[in-house]
Every structure is written in C-alpha cells, then in structure tokens.
C-alpha cells in the first residue's frame, strides 16, 4: 500500500487519540475534584459531596468542612494547576527546550523576593495580603529577563532567554538568602509560603487573580499556532510569514500572567510546568494547540492528586502539595536529562 493511501488513516488515528486523551483527562480531573473535596484527615463519604455543594444542611459538620475548608483549596489547586500546566507548555514551545519550566523566566524568584519584601519591610503575614506583591514581583522579574534577552539584533532568542533567566534568578536568590539569614521572623513566615501549598488560601485570593488567569489563557490559545511555526526554526517560520518577535512577546505574556497567578496563589510550586507537557505530548503529537488544551486539564489533575496524597500520607497532619509534586517531578526530570543526553550522543 502506498504512503499516500496510509496518510488519511494516520491522520484519523492521531485525531482520535487526541480526543480520547482529552476525554480521559477530563474524567481524571472530575475524579480528582471529587476526591479533593472528600478525602483528608476527616474522611467524608463521596455521597456527601454533592449535597454539601448544592443543598447544605445547617449543623452538618461534613458539609461545613467541604464548603469552608476543602472547596477553597480545591479551587486554588484547579486554577494553579491549570495555569502552571499551560505555562509550562508555552514555555517549552517558545524556548524550544524540553527541560524548560515557567520558573526559567525568573517568575518564582521575582515573586519570592517581593513576598520577602512584604513580610520583612511591611510586616504582612497573611497570604492574601501579599498576593499582589507575589504577582508584581513575578511580572517584574519576567519583564527584566525578557528585556535582557531581547538585546541585540536577533531579539529574544531561546538561548538568550534561558541565559538571562538563569542569571536573574541567581541574582535574586542571593538577595533573598541575604535577607532571610539576617531576619529569622521573615524566614519563619516565608518558608511556609515557599514550599507551595493549597491550604490556608481563601476565595478572596482566587477573586484577585482570576482575571489574570483568563487573560493568560487567552494569550496561550493565541500562541498555539505561532508556537507550531516557531518549532520549525526561526528562519523557516519567518519564511512562512510569522513575526518571531510577536510570537515570543505573546508567549512570554501568557507565561507571566499564568505563572505569576499560580505563584501568587499557591507559592512557587515547581515541576508541574515541566512534567505536564511531557505527559501530554505522546497523546497529542507536536501540535501546540492540542498540547496546551490537554495540559490545561492534566495540570490541575496532577496538582490536586499531589495535594490529596499529601493529606493522606502523614494523616492527621499533611504534607504540602509542592513537596509531593517535587518528589514526582524529580525522577521525571532525571529521566528527561538522560534522554536528552543520549539523543545528543
């Protein structure tokens, strides 16, 4: 049989695989949402979740726990995971680097420095109180990285963005360390935020960042087709009519809004943006429109599952979601580094 005759069958197979992957991801997310509301130090029957949300009974402690404690952290996990998953996909696309993470643009470091400033100088200790500082710091650091990476005739190339992000992150981290070493009170407050947690967040924090998340998702959706062209290389993309600087600016804007929002909500959670695109890509193929869409569903599923595991593994206490995700992500990153090294040989 000729290659031409096989092409339609292959296209249909890939299209089917993408839709199946998206459907399975949605089912996984629905399960994660329900389990996040039901599981914890206080076990609640799954049958109580729906009544607690839509017809709560006065004096029912299970309903109170679901609505007042678990619903806010579930919504925070949903938004933060969605933002990090999409931001990671866009980041890997715009830098053409399979090991790229949203933190590569200095987002986590900038947010951390702003939070340290809010705690040490302004004596703000409530997570909702310094959420604006976290977002502003993330945006400022990413802007500085992009400005430095844009210097020169070629503009913001992937290599220059990586180098600029690494340099800015190193500098900011040194400043943070200097402040924390000299201020024990700030260290004690900051360390709880810095590990990445969905607990102790309320719906007021969600209300603050929801508009930024939506804006970031819109930019990410716009960047999907652009990233497909960028993946072909700058010269070929220009030949096909793509303005490289526009695609990188749109992509960088999406990463700043999404990762800044997630960091402000839940702290500097690592590895979600790195791992999720690699989970998704075998099912979606190289089309970034599909990678971004499925990552938007897998991201929150991964973060919520990590949060559930953290609640159960050391019950009645709990382990922060950021630590659980790091345990999952570290082996994945090691495997990726080994694979890239082998390919390079």
pLDDT 10s digit of each residue in the chain, 345 long?
444 444 454 555 888 889 999 999 999 999 999 999 988 777 788 888 888 888 888 878 888 888 888 898 899 999 999 999 999 999 888 877 777 777 777 888 888 888 888 888 888 777 677 778 888 888 888 888 878 877 777 666 667 777 888 888 889 989 988 888 887 877 777 777 777 778 767 788 788 889 889 999 999 999 988 888 877 776 776 776 677 778 878 888 888 888 888 888 888 887 888 889 988 988 998 899 999 999 999 999 999 999 998 888 877 777 888 888 888 777 776 776 666 554 443
Q: Which domain holds residue 40?
A: 3-344
Rounded to whole angstroms, the Cα distance separating 340 from 308 reads 32
Task: Give the DSSP letter string of 130-196.
Answer: THHHHHHHHHHHHHHHHHHHT-STT-S-HHHHHHHHHHHHHHHHHHHHHHHHH-HHHHHHHHHHHT-
The neighbour count for residue 54, using CB atoms within 10 Å, is 7
Helix (H, G, I), strand (E, B) or coil at 229: helix
Residue tagged 């979606």 (tokens): 284
- The enclosing domain of 227 has a CATH number of 1.10.3470.10
Work out how many domains the chain is built from and give that number: 1
């Amino acid at each position: 049989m000729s290659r031409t005759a096989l092409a339609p069958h292959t296209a249909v197979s890939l299209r089917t695989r993408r839709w199946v992957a998206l459907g399975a991801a949605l089912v996984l997310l629905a399960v994660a949402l329900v389990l996040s509301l039901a599981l914890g130090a206080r076990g609640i029957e799954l049958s109580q979740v729906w009544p607690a949300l839509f017809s709560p009974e006065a004096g029912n402690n299970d309903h109170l726990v679901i609505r007042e404690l678990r619903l806010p952290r579930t919504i925070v996990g949903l938004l933060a995971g969605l933002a990090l998953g999409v931001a990671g996909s866009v980041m890997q696309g715009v830098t053409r680097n399979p090991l790229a993470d949203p933190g590569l643009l200095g987002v986590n470091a900038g947010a951390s420095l702003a939070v340290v400033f809010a705690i040490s100088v302004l004596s703000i200790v409530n997570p909702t109180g310094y959420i604006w500082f976290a977002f502003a710091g993330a945006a400022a650091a990413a802007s500085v990285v992009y400005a430095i990476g844009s210097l020169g005739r070629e503009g913001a190339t992937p290599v220059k963005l990586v180098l600029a992000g690494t340099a800015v992150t190193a500098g900011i981290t040194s400043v943070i360390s200097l402040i924390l070493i000299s201020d024990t009170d700030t260290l004690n407050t900051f360390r709880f935020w810095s590990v990445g947690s969905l607990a102790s967040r309320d719906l007021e924090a969600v209300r603050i960042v929801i508009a930024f998340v939506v804006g970031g998702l819109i930019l990410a959706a716009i960047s999907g087709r652009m990233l497909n062209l960028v993946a072909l290389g700058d010269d070929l993309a220009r030949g096909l009519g793509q303005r490289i600087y526009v695609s990188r600016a749109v992509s960088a804007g999406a990463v700043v809004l999404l990762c800044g929002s997630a960091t402000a909500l839940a702290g500097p959670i690592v590895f979600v943006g790195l791992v999720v695109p690699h989970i998704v890509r075998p099912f979606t193929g190289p089309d970034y429109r599909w990678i971004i869409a499925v990552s938007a569903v897998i991201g929150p599923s991964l973060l919520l599952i990590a949060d559930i595991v953290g609640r159960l593994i050391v019950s009645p206490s709990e382990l922060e979601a950021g630590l659980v995700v790091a345990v999952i992500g570290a082996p994945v990153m090691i495997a990726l580094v080994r694979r890239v090294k082998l390919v390079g040989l």
